[in-house]
Amino acid sequence: MKDYKLNNGVLIPCVGFGTWQTPDGETAVKAVECALADGYRHIDTAAVYGNEVSVGRGIAQSGVPRCEIFLTSKVWNTERGYDRTLKAFDKTACDLGVDYLDLYLIHWPASASQFDNWKDINRDTWRAMEHLYREGKIRAIGVSNFMPHHLDALIEHAEVIPAVNQIEYHPGQMQPETVAYCQARGIQIEAWSPLGTGRMLTNPTLQEIASHYGKSVAQLCIRWCLQHDVLPLPKSVTPSRIKENLEVFDFTISDADMARIDAMEYCGGSGLHPDKIDF
Ligand code: A2P
């Protein structure tokens, strides 16, 4: 599988395996094992998904060496700040059964709607991430769900520029300002819910375009991300779909079809806005 190169030179496989909403226990163990057997080498999880122990077991049982797997997790909103973030990292590493992470992200920015001192909170969290990075416990550090104003405030005092911003990204929800901001600064965009958490799959426009290529809508959405230099993280617990979602390197979406998908209006998404969340 092709890699993207992060702004610190670290290589990251261009499709990752998402585990949001994957139930803890055997389901997550089997899904991760299945993904690794199919050739995924990039697994994305988070403390708040509640499945890190099972994801770690899936990795261990797969037989794929740790060094061949790109593993991401995220610090949850209740653990923001310098000391808490350091502790949260230790727990995540312990739960996953690993001694380093390839990528660690701030899951959501602290925002003005919840905190007067939101900038300080994000900076303190980031200082802990920088510390872990310098200590070699994380190969790259980044953020998730940050908009340009959150990034501006963070970067103003940062020693390390984030390598990644993981955002909700699928047809009808392209977050163009955030993507342009990050791409201009070498911050890799990752797409959570590249299938709109499944909502895209029944969209008539996408169904029509996908059928031209003899591909599924899921494959079309994943390929569309890649052609925008965005890194998709499709989630599935179904073996046939896990495999299908990697079969995206044998076709190219034409410029005209890319433009048609880009022009799609909002047709459903999580509805979560980083400045309005209440969790
Ligand atoms: P399941 O996990 O039951 O297989 P997203 O990655 O945007 O969050 O979307 C995940 C949702 O899409 C899940 O409900 C998942 O179902 C479903 N899904 C993932 N891949 C496919 C696929 N290739 N075909 C149909 N549904 C899929």
Residue 68 has pLDDT above 90, yes or no: yes
Tokens 């994380």 sit on residue: 138
Segment holding 266, helix H or strand E? none
Question: Position 242: which residue type?
Answer: I
What's the 199 CA to ligand 1 centre distance in angstroms?
9
Ligand 1 contacts CB of residue 232 (under 6 A): no
Residue type (1 letter), 111? S
* Average pLDDT in the chain: 97
Contact partners, residue 78, CB within 8 Å, separation at least 6 = 84
Task: Check: pTM over 0.85? Answer yes or no.
Answer: yes
The whole-number pLDDT of residue 70 equals 98
Give the nearest ligand 1 atom to 20 CA.
8
* pLDDT tens per residue, range 234-263: 999 999 999 999 999 999 999 999 999 999
- Residues 67, 69, 72: CA angle, nearest 5 degrees: 115
Which residues form the catalytic set?
A: 49
User: Which residue has 């979602």 as its token pair?
Assistant: 245
What's the average model confidence in pLDDT over 90-107?
Answer: 98
96 closest CA partner among 44, 143, 23, 134: 44
Contacts of 29 (CB under 8 A, 6+ apart): 54, 55, 57, 58, 61
Give the number of residues written for the chain: 279
**Range 52-68 average pLDDT:** 98
Burial readout 111-134 (b: 16 or more C-beta within 10 A, e: otherwise): beebeeebbebbbbbbbbbebbbe
pLDDT at 83 over 90: yes
Q: Is 198 in the pocket of ligand 1 (CB under 6 A)?
A: yes
- Angle CA(142)–CA(275)–CA(16) in degrees, nearest 5? 35
CA angle, 250 then 253 then 257, to 5°? 160
The DSSP secondary structure of 42-85, one letter per residue, reads EEE--GGGT-HHHHHHHHHHH---GGG-EEEEEE-GGG-SHHHH
% pLDDT > 90, the chain: 99
Helix, strand, coil % over all residues of the chain, rounded to 5: 45, 15, 40
Mind listing the pLDDT tens digit for each residue in 102-111? 999 999 999 9
DSSP annotation of 279 reads: -
Apex CA 58: angle with CA 201 and CA 142, to 5°? 70
* Position in ligand 1 atom list of the atom nearest CA 193: 7
User: Is the CB of 237 within 6 Å of ligand 1?
Assistant: yes
For ligand 1, the distance from its centroid to the CA atom of residue 217, given in whole angstroms, is 11
Q: How far is the CA of 134 from the centre of ligand 1 (A)?
A: 36
The answer, yes or no, to whether any atom of ligand 1 lies below 6 A from the CB of 234, is: yes
Tell me the average pLDDT across 18-31.
Answer: 97
Residue pointed to by tokens 């970067």? 155
Per-residue pLDDT for 1 more than 90? no
Using alpha carbons only, what angle is made at residue 183 by residues 9 and 70, rounded to the nearest 5 degrees?
Answer: 40
Residues 6+ apart with CB under 8 A from 165: 142, 143, 144, 146, 151, 178, 182, 187, 188, 189, 190
Q: With a 6 A CB cut-off, is 43 part of the ligand 1 pocket?
A: no
